[in-house]
């Protein structure tokens, strides 16, 4: 093995375009891309439509604004490039502009169940249910087994490895119901399996067991109202957590597990699932997006650049690169703004990008491009009051008074929260376009509804303006009548997407980099103790230096620089504390 390891070599490499044949399938609620066979693609799509139909029939759900995109890989090698963990059979990636579910080729039954598990999380998110972690994971595990049985829907099939684990080990239920995303129960390798198994068993019992099922709706309503889990158990079931735990042990270790049969029939005859050759734009951008989802923005940007070279008019590469520069990699406002603006000019279907472009663009560029960007955004969301008022304001600042006035006339009503944005623009647009009576009437209305001291003073000045008979009499600049803009235009942006990598944090002095043929380890001096951490796949580790330059490591002894790691305990080979997820030089 070479003695010199460059972790981010792909920054210098051209994107490798997919050479395999990809096919696209689309149903009413999903899009699927695959480089594998037709039979499996159809089976996966049918199962996702079945799950979505079942939830839509039995409870209120909401669909995301764009169809989730399912990527089914035909080879293990291709899938592992994107899989967040070596053992992941499938994974969900919720990006700001689209939801992805990726499925690997091996362990097909487990892969489909894992993928459905992740999709149920998406349904819960769109339903705006507020669930504690154990309920969220338990619900997803319980309903991941949905299938058809005798023309009906069956829920609750036993999951053998959960039952095996619970019959051989146990975690205190109080720890399970109190766990959050940072808890050891959810992160440590020795606990995480028990967390999922217990969460599944508890939801299985609460929803399907004869004594517990009738009271589950009451329990769930209490949870949605913010009641703590122990109190919700007491109020809904008249049981303490310890009593629920005893009941659960008896339920799991009994002779049978309850299965629910719903007298509902999923009519898959209406599904039209014929496949067509996939457009390279679709599958190549899907692979770029999956790279971004796994925090590999260098690879995502390289792939997006290659797609842009093939499809220069497509907005998709700019959307992906914009989010990489804004939130998924190292923040670069200027580059993010340029990419978002390019996506907006090319009419991206992602509404948030237009606002992001305006928030990140330099002032001079914003003055020139704002009207065009806002007009394009309104084609997507024509009912948006915020966008229309903003467009009218831009026209007013550019002395396009008629255009400003006509934009606001398209609004049939305004909300109380919009008063202080709407009236200053409308009064001035009407007055400068010599619609004096309308300006005067609007100013009188504003005086009546203004609430804050600043708004009352502004309304009085605008009323004085409206009472003038000729524009030449005006002495104040237009800006003097407008409410002050927000101090930071990025306040209107989608929030930056911070890495969602969970694990344990350690800080120490980096003293050695051990390079074996198939094993890379960082050795840290932690308070006088030497500890080794496994570097499984350098290209998937989020690495950050003080200078921001790519990480360049030499095997052997190191200088003892201070660094911080986030690692997954127990996930590495013998002799290591765990697998590195994030590494940062301090």
CA 276/CA 222 separation, integer angstroms: 48
pLDDT at residue 414 in the model: 87
pTM listed for this prediction: 0.68
b/e burial code for range 46-72 (CB count within 10 A of at least 16 → b) = bbbbbbbbbbeeeeebeeeeebbbbbb
pLDDT at 228: 93
41-76 pLDDT per residue, tens = 888 888 888 888 887 776 666 677 788 999 999 888
Q: What is the mean pLDDT of the chain?
A: 81
User: Mean of the pLDDT values across residues 205-222?
Assistant: 89
Mean pLDDT on 69-86: 86
Mean predicted confidence (pLDDT) in 551-565: 83
pLDDT for residue 267: 65
Task: Average the pLDDT over 9-13 and give the result.
Answer: 32
Q: Looking at the predicted structure, is the pLDDT value of residue 379 above 50?
A: yes
- What residues contact 254, with CB distance under 8 A and at least 6 apart? none
Q: How far is CA 149 from CA 115, 146, 152, 157, 483, in A?
A: 21, 10, 5, 11, 63
Flag the least confident range among 315-319, 345-349, 494-498: 494-498
Identify the band that residue 110 occupies on the pLDDT scale cut at 50, 70 and 90.
low
Which pLDDT band holds residue 329 (cuts at 50, 70, 90)? low
What confidence score (pLDDT) does residue 186 get? Answer: 67
| Distance from C-alpha of 303 to C-alpha of 321, rounded to nearest angstrom | 10
Indicate the pLDDT class of residue 4, thresholds 50, 70 and 90. very low
What is the predicted pLDDT for the residue at 12? Answer: 31
Going by pLDDT thresholds of 50, 70 and 90, the confidence category of residue 86 is low
pLDDT at residue 34, as a whole number: 93
Mean pLDDT (whole number) for 130-151: 85
Average pLDDT value for residue range 385-410: 89
Q: CA-to-CA distance for 408 and 394, rounded, in angstroms?
A: 12
pLDDT of 42: 86
pLDDT at 107: 56
Residue range 292-301: mean pLDDT, rounded? 88
**What pLDDT was estimated at residue 485?**
46
**In terms of residues, how long is the chain?**
586
Name all domains of the chain by residue range, CATH numbers in brackets: 20-269 (1.10.390), 383-495 (no CATH), 504-585 (2.40.50)
- pLDDT at residue 481, as a whole number: 52
Nearest to 205 by CA among 141, 113, 129, 131: 141
- Please say if the pLDDT value at position 537 is more than 90: no
Where residue 271 falls among pLDDT bands split at 50, 70, 90? Answer: low
Average pLDDT for 524-530: 88
The pLDDT confidence band at residue 15, using thresholds 50, 70 and 90, is very low
Is the pLDDT at 490 greater than 50, yes or no? Answer: no
Please, which residues have CB within 8 angstroms of residue 280's CB and are 6 or more apart in sequence? 17, 18, 22, 307, 310
Q: How confident is the model at residue 487 (pLDDT cuts 50, 70, 90)?
A: very low
Greater model confidence, 249 or 106? 249
Mean pLDDT of 532-539: 80
pLDDT for the residue numbered 408: 92
Residue 36 has pLDDT above 50, yes or no: yes
pLDDT confidence bin for 13, thresholds 50/70/90: very low
Q: Mind listing the pLDDT tens digit for each residue in 247-270? A: 999 988 876 667 777 666 666 656
Q: How does residue 540 score in pLDDT terms, banded at 50, 70 and 90? A: low
Q: What is the pLDDT of residue 570?
A: 66
User: What is residue 294's predicted lDDT score, i.e. its pLDDT?
Assistant: 83
pLDDT band at 7 (very low <50, low <70, confident <90, very high): very low
Contacts of 156 (CB under 8 A, 6+ apart): 142, 145, 204, 207, 208, 257, 258, 259, 260
Is residue 386 predicted with pLDDT exceeding 90? no
Average pLDDT over residues 387-414: 89
- Rounded to an integer, the average pLDDT of 562-567 is 86
Contact 578, 533 (CB under 8 A): yes
Instruction: Return the closest-CA partner of residue 519 out of 555, 491, 563, 492.
Output: 555
Point out the least confidently predicted range of 322-326, 482-486, 506-510.
482-486
% of the chain at pLDDT higher than 90: 24
Binning pLDDT at 50, 70 and 90, where does residue 241 land? very high
450-469 average pLDDT score: 86
pLDDT: which is higher, 515 or 341: 341
The CA distance from 79 to 297, in Å, is: 17
Average the pLDDT over 137-159 and give the result. Answer: 83
Mean pLDDT of 14-29: 69
The sheet with strand 147-149 has its strands ordered as 147-149, 152-155, 260-262
Interhelix angle 333-345/351-360, rounded to 10 degrees, is 130
Q: What pLDDT was estimated at residue 19?
A: 46
Asked whether the predicted pLDDT for residue 280 surpasses 90, the reply is yes
Instruction: Locate 55 and state its tokens.
Output: 């939830």
More confident site: 19 or 83: 83
Most confident of 71-80, 108-117, 307-316: 307-316
Distances (CA, A) of 493 to 357, 359, 468: 9, 6, 39
**132-141, 523-532, 568-577: lowest mean pLDDT where?**
568-577
């Amino acid at each position: 093995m070479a003695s010199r390891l460059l972790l981010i070599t792909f920054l210098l490499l051209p994107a490798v375009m997919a050479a395999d044949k990809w096919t696209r399938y689309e149903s009413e609620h999903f899009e699927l891309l695959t480089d594998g066979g037709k039979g499996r693609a159809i089976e996966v799509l049918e199962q996702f439509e079945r799950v979505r139909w079942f939830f839509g029939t039995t409870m209120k759900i909401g669909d995301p604004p764009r169809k989730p995109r399912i990527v089914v890989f035909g080879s293990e090698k291709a899938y592992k490039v994107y899989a967040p963990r070596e053992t992941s059979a499938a994974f969900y990636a919720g990006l700001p502009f689209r939801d992805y579910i990726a499925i690997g080729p091996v362990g097909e039954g487990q892969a489909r169940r894992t993928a459905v598990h992740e999709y149920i999380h998406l349904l819960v998110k769109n339903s705006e249910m507020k669930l504690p972690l154990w309920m969220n994971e338990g619900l997803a595990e319980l309903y991941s087994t949905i299938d058809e049985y005798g023309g009906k829907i069956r829920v609750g099939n036993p999951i053998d490895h959960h039952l095996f684990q619970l019959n051989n080990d146990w975690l205190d239920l109080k720890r399970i119901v109190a766990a959050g995303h940072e808890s050891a129960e959810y992160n440590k390798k020795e606990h995480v399996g028990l967390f999922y198994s217990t969460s599944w068993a508890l939801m299985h019992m609460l929803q399907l067991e004869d004594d517990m099922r009738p009271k589950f709706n009451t329990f769930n309503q209490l949870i949605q109202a913010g009641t703590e889990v122990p109190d919700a158990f007491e109020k809904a079931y008249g049981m303490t957590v310890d009593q629920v735990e005893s009941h659960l042990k008896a339920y799991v270790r009994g002779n049978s597990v309850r299965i629910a049969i719903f007298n509902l029939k999923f009519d898959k005859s209406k599904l039209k699932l014929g496949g067509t050759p996939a457009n390279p734009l679709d599958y190549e951008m899907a692979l770029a997006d999956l790279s971004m989802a796994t925090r590999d923005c260098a690879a995502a940007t390289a792939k997006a650049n290659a797609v842009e070279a093939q499809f220069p008019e497509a907005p998709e590469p700019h959307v992906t690169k914009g989010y990489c520069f804004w939130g998924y990699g190292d923040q670069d406002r200027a580059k993010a703004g340029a990419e978002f603006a390019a996506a907006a000019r090319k009419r991206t279907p992602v509404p948030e990008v237009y606002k992001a472009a305006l928030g990140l663009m330099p002032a001079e560029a914003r003055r020139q491009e704002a009207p065009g960007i806002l007009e394009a955004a309104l084609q997507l969301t024509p009912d948006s009051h915020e966008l229309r008022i903003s467009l009218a304001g831009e026209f007013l600042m550019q002395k396009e008074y008629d255009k400003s006035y006509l934009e606001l006339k398209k609004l049939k009503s305004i909300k109380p929260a919009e008063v202080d944005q709407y009236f200053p623009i409308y009064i001035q647009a009407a007055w400068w376009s010599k619609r004096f009576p309308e300006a005067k009437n609007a100013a009188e209305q504003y005086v009546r509804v203004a609430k804050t001291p600043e708004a009352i003073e502004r309304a009085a000045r605008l009323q004085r303006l409206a009472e003038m008979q000729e524009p030449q009499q005006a002495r104040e600049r237009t800006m003097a009548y407008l409410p002050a803009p927000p101090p930071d235009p990025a306040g209107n942006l989608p929030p930056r997407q911070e890495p969602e990598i969970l694990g344990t944090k350690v800080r120490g002095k980096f003293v050695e980099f051990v390079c074996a043929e198939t094993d890379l380890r960082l050795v840290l001096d932690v308070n006088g103790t030497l500890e080794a951490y496994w570097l499984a796949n350098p290209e998937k580790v989020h690495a950050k230096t003080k200078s921001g330059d790519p990480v360049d490591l030499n095997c052997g002894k190191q200088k003892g620089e201070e660094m911080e790691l986030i690692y997954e305990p127990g996930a590495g080979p013998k002799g290591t504390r765990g697998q590195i997820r994030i590494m940062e030089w301090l």
